Amino acid sequence: MAGPNRYSTLVSWAKVLLPLTALGLLSTLFLFSRTPNPQDALLFNDVDIGQLGSERLLTEPRFAGILGDGQPVTLTADNAVQRMDDPNRLQMDRVETDVALKDGQNLHLTADRGAYDATAQIVDLDGAVNAQTTTGFQLISDRIVVALTAMEMTSPGAVMLRGPGMMLEAGAMQLTGPEGQALLHFTGGVRLLYDTQN
Its pTM stands at: 0.64
Helices (H), the chain: 6-32, 49-54
Give yes or no for residue 198 having a pLDDT over 60: no
**DSSP characters over 58-80:** EES-EEEEE-TTS-EEEEEEEEE
Calpha distance 194→56 (Å, rounded): 48
Of 26-35, 62-71, 84-93, 134-143, where does mean pLDDT reach its minimum? 26-35
Give the model confidence (pLDDT) of 108-161 as tens digits.
889 999 988 888 888 899 988 998 888 888 989 999 988 877 768 889 999 998
For residue 39, the SS3 value is: helix
11 pLDDT higher than 80: no
Phi, psi (rounded to 5 degrees) for 193: -115, 125
- How many whole angstroms separate alpha carbon 168 and alpha carbon 189? 10
- Cβ neighbour number for residue 166 with a 10 Å cutoff: 13
Q: How confident is the model at residue 67 (pLDDT cuts 50, 70, 90)?
A: low
- Across 38-47, 48-57, 73-82, the highest mean pLDDT is recorded for 73-82
**Higher-confidence position of 182 and 158:** 158
How much is the pLDDT for 111? 92
Residue ranges and CATH numbers for the domains of the chain are 49-194 (2.60.450.10)
124 pairs with which residues across the strands? 115, 145
